[in-house]
Every structure is written in structure tokens, then in C-alpha cells.
Chain A
Amino acid sequence: MAGINDSLSFSLAGYGQLRIREGVVYRYYNDLGPHAGNCTWGVGTLAHFGTCTEAELKTHVTAKDVNTALARHVHKVEKYIHRKVRNHRLTQAQFDGLVSFSYNVSNPSSVMAAADRGDMKAVYDKMLQYIYVYKHDSKGHKIGKPTILAPLYRRRLEEAAPFRQE
């Protein structure tokens, strides 16, 4: 059965914002993340958890590789939102916000459920819960207090803004 948002796709403006938020790197690098970071390349494309190997750090990445991975990931996220938000019609800005958000977090299901039932306040509030960064020690245990990073908080505010209820 077709969903109500199946005709929506990530806008060019959305792509532009995503590229700014994730940055674009034409090589492998160790991103800021749990433990000592995660091996990443392109537009925030996760190669794997944990740091890159020496071989990966020497790997050349082309613009085509970067753009193909970006388009593939975005397409996957678009399909996920079409599948999860079937009953409440989203605006283009809301759809773009959800794509950027889902591109960045591991489990956005509670946000999708709220969007599907049309509870925009809950969507806004839940998106702003995905702002905490936890540190881990070398054994993988969480250490210290969760922190909020200014740029990540800013990103969430921008992504959630189309859902804000005045």
C-alpha cells in the first residue's frame, strides 16, 4: 500500500545542508566518536566502528565514490521514512529535516512513530533528545558525564525547526 509521503524526496537544498553538516572528505579519516573514533569517509559515510587501518588511511577516494555513497545512503533513508511515516502528510522542509536527522542517528524509530501519528510537538521534542555525546574508555564502558556539543545541538535545532509548534 502506498504511503502518503511516497512522492517526497530529499531536496537539493537538503543535500547542500547535509554536505555542510557532515563535511566532505575525499579520504578515510578517524571521526570523532566513541572509543577513539570511527573510520569514516566522504559525506559522513561510516566505513566501520573503530579507527581506520593503515591501509584504509592510504586509500584514495574519488568524487564519484563519495557521491554514490551519499546518494545510496540518502535513498535508503528516504525509503525508510516513506515506510515509517505513511499516515501523516509531511511538508518538504519536514521531510528534509527527517532525512538529515535519520542520516545521522542510529535509531530514529521513536521520532518516526510520532511523525506518523502527526504529533509534531513530540517529533520536535524527541529530535532534541539526540544531542548527547558519551565518552567510552578503552574497555568500552561509558565514562564521565554526557556532553552536548554546540555544533550538534545547532544541527538538531535546524532539523527539528520545521516541526516546531508556535
Chain B
Amino acid sequence: MLKKLSVAVLFTLCASTTVYASSDRETDARLDTLMGSASHERFHDFLNQLQKAIADKDKKAVAAMVDYPLTITVNHKEIDIADDHAFIKAYDKIFTDRLVKIILDQKYADLFAKDTGVMIGPHGELWFSGICTVKDCSKFDIKIMQINN
């Protein structure tokens, strides 16, 4: 009986919860919970920098934001990108008009985040995350981990 009640309460809670955060503050809080206290500014900056670099078609700047090697899905076909040179060479194939629009339209307040990283786009078109640089993970770099266009 208790178990049934718990599940009923859970369903009520789940149904009333929004999928995405709806304000910058909520995203700040969510990122701090998942990534570490006071880390949201770095993720917010990363999104801003990425959107600016994409808008400016600054291939070099975007390439510097990627964690290599990287396997990218382009039209359901996977391509291997070893380094920034290969990334820049494939840039126009990767960043189609559709993907560029998705990235530029992404609002910080609507970012989805989970235990592996932060998702841009409704279907995981681009992911970025904090990659630990020291053993206890007290320091990390933020990089693009996955692209599906």
C-alpha cells in the first residue's frame, strides 16, 4: 500500500515538473547542482562564446572549443575528426544551416543539462561538458564532446 502511495505521489510530482528550466536563474541553479557550485558562469560563457564564433563563422575559434579526437554524425554517417585541422576542413559539412540555426537559437534559460553534460538543440545536436584536468576534478576545461547534425 505504502509503495503504491509513493508511486502515486511520484507521478504527481513528475507530471507537475517542467522539462527545461524556464529562467536564467533556474539554469544557473541546475548547472551549479550538476557541475559544481558557482560553475554556471563558465558554462554560460562557453555558450555565449560558441554562439558568437558560429555567428562569425570563426572556424578556428570553434575548433579550439572541441575535445579531440571526435566522432561526428553528419546525416546519420559518422566521420572521425582527429584534430583541429581536420575539424576546420570538415567545418562546412558539419555546420549546416539547420545546425547553425539550432545553435544560435539556443537560449541559456532552456538549456538541458544532466550528469554527462549540457545539450544544445531539442535532440542532442551538440553536447559540451566539463573535462576534469586534475585527479579530484576540482578543475576542469569545458569542451564540445559530441555533434550530431
A interface with B by C-beta (< 8 Å) = 9, 12, 15-16, 19-33, 35-37, 44, 51-52, 57, 63-64, 66-67, 70-71, 104, 133, 135-138, 143-144, 147-155
Contact = CB atoms under 8 A, between A and B. Distances in A.
Interface stretch (B52-60, B66-74, B89-97): B66-74
B132 A71 contact: no
18 contacts: A9-B3, A19-B17, A21-B34, A32-B117, A32-B145, A51-B148, A57-B123, A64-B15, A67-B15, A138-B71, A138-B80, A143-B69, A147-B67, A149-B117, A150-B36, A150-B39, A151-B35, A151-B130
Nearest to B7: A71
Contact of B119 (A9, A29, A137): A29
Contacts of B125: 30
Given A23-B115, A151-B113, A152-B115, 4 more contacts: A23-B113, A36-B73, A67-B11, A149-B129
Given A12-B10, A67-B14, A151-B115, A136 B71 contact: yes
Best-surrounded residue of A9, A32, A57 (most CB of chain B within 10 A): A32
Contacts of B80: 137-138, 143
B143 to A, nearest CB: 9
Main SS of the interface on chain A? mixed
B33 A20 contact: yes
A151 B127 CA distance: 13
B123 A151 contact: no
A36 B78 contact: yes
Contact of B112 (A23, A33, A67, A137): A23
Given A19-B17, A21-B114, A37-B148, A153 B132 contact: yes
B15 to A, nearest CB: 5
B103 interface: no
A45 B26 CA distance: 24
B71 A150 contact: no
Nearest to A100: B115
B132 to A, nearest CB: 4
A135 B66 CA distance: 13
Contacts of A151: 34-35, 113-117, 129-130
Contacts of A63: 14-15
B51 interface: no
Contacts of B132: 147-150, 153
Contacts of B9: 12
What are the 9 A-B residue pairs with the smallest beta carbon separation, nearest first?
A: A150-B130, A23-B114, A30-B124, A138-B78, A36-B73, A148-B132, A29-B124, A153-B137, A150-B140
Contact of A19 (B14, B119, B122): B14
B109 to A, nearest CB: 15
A27 B117 contact: no
